[in-house]
Chain A
């Protein structure tokens, strides 16, 4: 049974629909991530589940109980906002302990629980101090501690890492995932950062302009994006989308881009796709493109190197051919990155044939 089920949920603000037909379930203990750009409707979704926003239609069911018309306090969920406010006059310990105190929990239980959590969150050293002496990362950890100290049926976190430095974010991502594994708490995590979504979640829901674009495991979403938005939003650098034509020549078929030909091995199936020639594009991931210093079977085409982005563990090349720019990912020691031009090639994937009028991938 799902811990949370959202069905046919519509939310409107002043006649403007900000969430349309939202429908998904979250399993018990799952790390479920909702990812999308600013104004996609992510925070509205969380507020609706928590009961802070009343939907125009649809239901929210938690542990089999329809809570759509119940008060926030009766839903047994916790929600942590991006700008977490700690009580400035309470110590780290008392901030974390707060939800237990209001629930009238026994003193010894509170102590054990807070100390245990503080250890897990690496904030033992700030327990006796006041929040104004905390660093950004410490504040965030204490706020997280407060939101998880009392086990609820559902924990919701709204962009919890957004205000932090990049370096702290990266290390908290891993800690978060480990803490989640230890506690087994059902979690909905909202972010605009696809790296967070990909690296931490069991499943991801991609939200854009109030509509769910796709729900699946990180692997599914990355390998088989449902539409152009997902393809370009997930993955960094984004998937290349290039206008293309089909060709059939001497029993070989494939894709033609700006006059260059790329044979597709699985072409027999492609004929069944019912492809509209004049609206065809192909998606290619930057890591699926081969490059070399000389012409070869896998790299039959030539392009100029416009720009190289050195990112340490990888380099990104911007290749230019026939008026098209193609982003390619290479290993940092690849000598190609030092040159002015390169030979390249790739094998188009039938899953990544796009109708660029509907922006849907052919099935």
Chain B
């Protein structure tokens, strides 16, 4: 067996395309996944993420392009020989078999020796907290247990690559949240290479080392969760990531010799660093927690009216009228009520300027006045 080093590339897809009846579902995707890394393929329904996964798994044959594992093309290797583990939204577990038999199944199929089988099953039962359930039948399990069994019976076969397709979609919100942490912990402990398909940006943000955002068959951006959140390269990515939805305020930029001057409907000539600097009309993408809000006017603030309050428990989101546009601001609970007047100013860090013609984003930095 070849011992691959930690930074080795486990999976690579090159110019992968898939055309169904003339419709291009995947339009030339490229990505690489290192050994032990967790990458999420994130996008709305119909963006091509599940098709990409099916091409990697071997359920579909690409129209063109290649899938490589450990640098070797596997495009023409049949599914069962790919050593890829799969877990889908609808957990396929044998309801008539016990949990233990479920876990043993894949190993028996691989003709692993009996002693080895028992050892591996015991090890993974422990890791996934299934010890108390080994003799229960699949049909007696609750959703969370079924999910863990589905995961365990794939992990026990030690796949080189684990593909997960919306594995939490059928679960209640509360359960999903607690399973995120468990899944990440298991993945880290096992150093399992994972490709995770989801439409839920919270799942992608919380578990991934890298996120690939997909839309209309294209991978738009691949970056760490932090960079995807702070430095989206396109309007689609900016609006798909983050809760509440990023604010998009109309604005105008004037490039001067020492700064960029940014004016919105209510704020005039806020200063940003030059570097890139084409004057014109843009959209200012700004997150609700990057807007300062106070009850009384303060330096650089403008007054706005609260139209709607959303309660999220530990924080409230105010929908305010800014000029004639709507904007969201994050505050602590009880800060303001509907109809209140409050005062807002922008904290111009991690600013996204969307070019309305191309939907591409520029990221000028805040101008440090003391420098």
Contact = CB atoms under 8 A, between A and B. Distances in A.
B307 to A, nearest CB: 9
Nearest to B184: A307
Interface stretch (B71-79, B174-182, B263-271, B363-371): B174-182
Taking each of A178, A309, A329, which has the highest tally of chain B beta carbons within 10 Å of its own beta carbon?
A309
Contacts of A136: 45
Given A167-B44, A218-B311, A219-B311, A192 B172 contact: yes
B313 A236 contact: yes
A85 interface: no
Contacts of B206: 309-311, 316
B57 to A, nearest CB: 23
A38 interface: yes
B105 interface: no
Given A166-B200, A219-B334, A313-B288, A193 B173 contact: yes
Interface string A316-341: 10100000000001011000000000
A170 interface: yes
Taking each of B172, B184, B240, B288, which has the highest tally of chain A beta carbons within 10 Å of its own beta carbon?
B172
A235 B314 contact: yes
B313 A286 contact: no
Given A194-B173, A307-B184, A287 B308 contact: no
A194 B174 CA distance: 8
A118 interface: no
Contact of B199 (A167, A218, A311): A167
Taking each of A167, A219, A332, which has the highest tally of chain B beta carbons within 10 Å of its own beta carbon?
A167
A173 B245 CA distance: 12
Given A166-B201, A167-B201, A235 B44 contact: no
B107 to A, nearest CB: 30
Contacts of A329: 314
Interface in B227-256: 229, 239-245
Interface in A159-183: 165-168, 170-171, 173-174, 177-178, 181
Interface in A187-239: 192-195, 198-200, 218-219, 222, 232-238
A120 to B, nearest CB: 15
Contact of A174 (B184, B225, B289, B319): B319
Interface in B177-205: 177-178, 180-181, 184-185, 199-202, 205
B310 interface: yes
A312 B241 contact: yes
A141 interface: no
B313 A170 contact: no
B344 to A, nearest CB: 17
A298 interface: no
Contacts of B289: 313, 331-332
Nearest to B226: A310
A263 interface: no
A192 B173 contact: yes
Contacts of B184: 307, 309
Taking each of B175, B243, B287, B333, which has the highest tally of chain A beta carbons within 10 Å of its own beta carbon?
B243
Contacts of B229: 310, 312
A200 B309 CA distance: 9
A146 interface: no
A98 B332 CA distance: 44
B361 interface: no
Contact of B172 (A37, A167, A236, A286): A37
B176 to A, nearest CB: 10
A219 B333 contact: yes
A31 to B, nearest CB: 12
Contacts of A181: 308
Given A37-B172, A235-B313, A165 B334 contact: no
A266 to B, nearest CB: 20
B143 interface: yes
Contact of B308 (A171, A174, A307): A174
B312 interface: yes
A150 interface: no
A171 B245 contact: yes
B330 interface: yes
Nearest to B240: A167
Given A218-B311, A307-B181, A332-B289, A238 B174 contact: yes
Contacts of B288: 313
Contacts of A178: 308
A309 B180 contact: yes
B177 A236 contact: yes
Contacts of B242: 312-313
Interface string B283-317: 00001110000000000000000001011111101
26 contacts: A37-B174, A38-B172, A165-B199, A167-B44, A170-B244, A170-B245, A173-B310, A181-B308, A195-B173, A198-B311, A199-B312, A218-B311, A218-B313, A219-B334, A234-B313, A235-B314, A236-B173, A237-B177, A238-B178, A287-B315, A311-B206, A312-B241, A313-B330, A318-B181, A331-B289, A332-B289
Given A238-B174, A313-B287, 16 more contacts: A37-B175, A165-B199, A166-B199, A167-B199, A167-B239, A195-B173, A195-B312, A199-B312, A199-B317, A218-B313, A236-B173, A309-B184, A311-B206, A311-B243, A312-B205, A312-B287
